[in-house]
Chain A
Amino acid sequence: DAGITQSPRHKVTETGTPVTLRCHQTENHRYMYWYRQDPGHGLRLIHYSYGVKDTDKGEVSDGYSVSRSKTEDFLLTLESATSSQTSVYFCAIREEYEQYFGPGTRLTVT
């Protein structure tokens, strides 16, 4: 258990509304990641962080922003949710060469 929690675990929201997902870790890991999982696509990296206030884009970053104001929290924001952002979102931390994943957040945009 890498001490990763995600909140909320489930969310239904309407198109055009802002949504923020939270990833929280308790073990002071420097690197944190946000992925989305969709059928037929596996997991794709949205954004990642390599330290407080240090973030960079992944392969599917359009429509998403992130913030990391303290080591333990990494926030993913959908400024204006669209139906194409319906997905399961996973947070991960890096420990040496390995990544460990949180339990996921299922987001439905109607």
Chain B
Amino acid sequence: GNSVTQMEGPVTLSEEAFLTINCTYTATGYPSLFWYVQYPGEGLQLLLKATKADDKGSNKGFEATYRKETTSFHLEKGSVQVSDSAVYFCALLGGGSNYKLTFGKGTLLTVNP
């Protein structure tokens, strides 16, 4: 079956530091990949996506590249801000799955001023 493994947190960074949150996956076929963000007390928001190998998703300064050879979709940001403090979830959408998402366990990011 499908599965997503993302780095365990919590991750604590200073403002303007470089961020990487690792995500690897196992899936049959060619899944689509997503990063969601959850701010405190809120629901999940779609941050970025990639639907095929070598695609790069980007939004709000965050980027992730779909690497089929390493089955990875690592999230990066060059300079984090305090407002980026949140929980980040990697997820995949497998083919023929009635559009069911499989999520990683989430990574809590705290950015200090």
Tell whether A pairs with B: yes
B46 pairs with A48, CB closer than 8 A: no
With both beta carbons as reference points, the residue of chain A lying nearest to B46 in the complex is identified as A98
A70 sits at the interface (CB 8 A): no
With both beta carbons as reference points, the residue of chain B lying nearest to A41 in the complex is identified as B105
Alpha-carbon gap, A97 to B100, bound state (A): 10
B32 sits at the interface (CB 8 A): yes
Q: Chain B interface: which size bin? A: 20 to 34
Binary contact track B64-87/A, C-beta < 8 Å → 1, others 0:
000000000000000000000000
Binary contact track A48-74/B, C-beta < 8 Å → 1, others 0:
101000001010000000000000000
- A104 touching B43 in the complex, CB below 8 Å, given contacts A43-B103, A48-B98: yes
Alpha-carbon gap, A43 to B104, bound state (A): 8
Q: A42-B106, A58-B100, A94-B99 are in contact. List 8 more A-B contacts (CB 8 A).
A: A40-B105, A42-B89, A43-B44, A50-B98, A56-B98, A97-B51, A101-B43, A104-B43
